[in-house]
Amino acid sequence: MAVYVIADIEVADAAGFEEYRQRVPATIAAHGGRYLARGGETEVLEGSWSPKRCTILEFPDMEKFRTWWSSPEYIPLRELRERSTKSHLIVTQGV
């Protein structure tokens, strides 16, 4: 069953985030993931949530996601993202 990572990212260090943005797609693809949305225009329809930069990833299943999340190639990039942004992330299963 597919899983989706939904991220709301506020960039604090543009240079650090740009390095992350350039290097992370290959790690996602290597684990069967793909972008569904990547920082495009967002419109709030209800509630008070106001995402800064919204990204949605799809992985084939939770195992592929978890393998990517803890992979040696992604961990340093995740640390870079954590240093250069304020992020809120969730992962959820699809139907």
Angle at 64 between CA 72 and CA 38, to 5 degrees: 85
Residue 88 binned pLDDT confidence (cut-offs 50, 70, 90): very high
Instruction: Enumerate domains of the chain plus CATH numbers.
Output: 3-42+52-93 (3.30.70.100)
pLDDT digits (tens, 9 = 90+) for 14-47: 999 999 999 999 999 999 999 999 988 999 999 9
User: What sign does the CA torsion over 14, 6, 72, 68 have?
Assistant: negative
What is the signed CA dihedral for 87, 80, 16, 37, rounded to 10 degrees? -50
Which pTM was predicted?
0.92
Dist. CA 85–CA 93, nearest whole Å? 25
Share of the chain above pLDDT 90, in %: 95
**Smallest Cα–Cα separation from 11: which of 70, 67, 53, 72?**
53
